[in-house]
Structure 1
Amino acid sequence: MGVKELTDKQLVVLLQEGNIMAYEEIYQRYWYKSFTWASHQVGAADAEELVQELFLSLWNRRTEVVIKRLDLYLAVAIKNQVYTFFKSQLSYRKYQEYLLFKELEESPDGNQILNFKELTSAIEKALSRLPEKSAEVFRLSRYENQPVKEIAKHLNLSEKAVEYHLTKSLKFLKDTLKSYQSEN
């Protein structure tokens, strides 16, 4: 009997014994379902990464976990992956905001409250001075919160090229906005 004819329970037993063919069959049966659910929550690029982490974890922890129902185990595991992803994204954004406000407080004009429209206008003016590709990468990353992998795919660039454009635009904006703050 081939692995395709085995039940989930039989596959789990073989998985725990380290049978790679059982693992591959579980992957084939549940990858798309896990990916579909996760992509509705976080988008395709991040979902793919989360599902890969899920199955990597399944293999690495195969001898430690007790799996009574494989379908339920994987459903709960992918939901936990998505929850952890959202939690880390929220923490990262809060940290970015903290750094921005800290930098504004420590600037020579730290007591001055910046007008949001003026700041937005200054950012857009600075972005217009960047090369088109760098400005587009910045907008996709910071305004649309797209990950590097997704931007690279969308713009047909390598991930390193996207990181280069982001670094270049962030440095340029930081330098430009510092001079903007000292002028006001």
Structure 2
Amino acid sequence: MKTSEKEIIRGLKKGDESTFVYLFNEYYVSLCAYSQKYVGRKDVAEEIVSDIFFSIWENRKKLKINTSLKSYLFKSVVNNSLYYLRKLEKENKLKEFFSDREVNNIEFSFSPEEVLEQSIIKNNISEKIEEAVNRLPEQQKKAFKLKRFEGKKNKEIAELMGLSIKTVEMHLSKAMLKLREDLKNSLPDFLFFILFKSL
């Protein structure tokens, strides 16, 4: 079977189904595992990767890959996974998506050791965020907690704190910059973006 990336791409463009099956079998499992690191759910990761392969086949004749085929596939997984999370964020469903109920539904796809490791990582991230928030100046910390943890709107925060909306926005902006600096070595960029995007 073809192993050269150029041959694989050439085969795809010609509509060679055996080439597509080879590509699918070669990368599907690893791509799903990679996507799952972002979205946290096996079923969603499989859907994302399946959509990528479907898109490749549907657009095979005009397929343009400027990097290696492997890099192209993994980059596509990253982009599609982050797009999925941003879409959930816009629909205010991200918290529900990562709720304990959802996590419990997918724990069977991991070994007990992996479940424990994920729990430790989750707790460590939560602790680091809490510590960073508590280090913020008092006004920034109060505004941030009202926004992030209580879901208050800027107008409501302004009323509760006796400040103007502009001042609240300034405190939130400064809080986000300070948190990004404090968490840059412990919180992945994509996770920071998802957690604090709405501020």
TM-score (norm 2): 0.46
TM-score (norm 1): 0.50
